Amino acid sequence: MKRFAFFCVVALAFCACSDSAPKADERFVAAYVEMRAAEQLYGGETPTARLVRREILNKYGYTREEFLKACDKVLENEAGWIPFQMAASDRVDSLLGIPKVIPVQKKGKK
């Protein structure tokens, strides 16, 4: 029983020391947000939408294939999904001029 308890403590220590969630690729986040905004503004399949998407990809240095591959990478990486969503949300807020909320700790609480 002592060995089992020791094993559980060691396993918990390894889990606690593991790396934090990976950071989102800011270039991809910016390109993704602009692509979604363009889709909302111009529709999905209009000639204007295709031209705008091409400009966005060029602006961020992506080919269509590279961008789709980056999208697949985010979708396949479970650990990176939440950081990506948070970064995309922050990017949208920054474009809209919404200030980032920083939680304030009450005195005496940590």
The predicted-structure confidence for 3-50, as pLDDT tens digits, reads as follows 433 333 333 344 444 456 578 889 999 999 999 999 999 998 899 999
The CB density around residue 67, as the number of other CB atoms within 10 Å, is 19
Q: E strands along the chain, which residues?
A: none
pLDDT attached to residue 96: 85
| pLDDT per position as a tens digit, 61-108 | 999 999 999 999 999 988 888 999 999 999 998 888 877 777 777 776
The CB density around residue 91, as the number of other CB atoms within 10 Å, is 18
State the Cα–Cα distance between residues 87 and 109, nearest whole angstrom: 28
Listed by start position, the domains of the chain span 22-95
Q: What is the pTM of this model?
A: 0.69
Quickly list H helices, 1-110: 2-16, 26-42, 47-60, 64-76, 78-96
Share of the chain above pLDDT 90, in %: 52
